[in-house]
Amino acid sequence: MKGSAYWQEKGLFQDYLRSIFAQLSRAGIRIVVGHGHGPSTHAFQELEEEAKEKYGLTIFTAWTFAEDERLRYQYDHAGANETSIIMAVRPELVDFGQVKEDESNLIGIAGRHPVRESSEAFGNEILEYIMKTLIAGIEETIGKDKN
């Protein structure tokens, strides 16, 4: 959302990432997992080759190894997936008081209906899946690098 308090131009954001990469590399870090919301994650991913060549870093996102589309939580926007994650991590932040069951005011919300299909249990399932696939993928990558 251009003009809002949190938006940064993509080039500036990527320069900021490059600065972080340089410092992490200098500290001996070799794997970086970065994940944000939509455009920031894509901007991060675009630096994959540069991170490897210039900084010796392998970069991943939370969904790099995730194949189950139902559980790849960043493909919805305040829908059932993201809402379920918040319900699992910070339930006090979820308030359905402004969401109408008939979907007439679901502006900016993508994915499955947040009220009807969100739950703490589903949020935990997503988080467990993401961590499981990410850890397995990183372990496999490390194993390949040793060979």
pLDDT tens string 59-98: 999 889 988 888 876 667 788 998 999 999 999 999 988 7
CA angle 128, 133, 135 (to 5 degrees): 95
Write down the mean pLDDT value for the chain: 87
Residue 114 pLDDT level (bands cut at 50, 70, 90): confident
Closest by Cα among 85, 82, 146 to 121: 85
Of the pLDDT bands very low, low, confident and very high (cuts 50, 70, 90), residue 48 is very high
Residue 47, pLDDT score: 97
pLDDT, residue 145, reads 72
% of the chain residues with pLDDT over 70: 89
Taking the model in full, what pTM does it have?
0.79
pLDDT at 5 over 70: no
8 Å CB contact between 125 and 71? yes
Instruction: Quickly state the pLDDT bin for 51 (edges 50, 70, 90).
Output: very high
- Where residue 118 falls (left for φ over 0; alpha for ψ -120 to 50; beta otherwise) is beta
- Give dist(CA 72, CA 44) in Å, integer: 17
- pLDDT of 77 reads 78
What b/e sequence results for 103-130 when a residue is b if at least 16 CB atoms lie within 10 Å of its CB, and e otherwise? eeebeebebbebeeebeeebbebbbebb
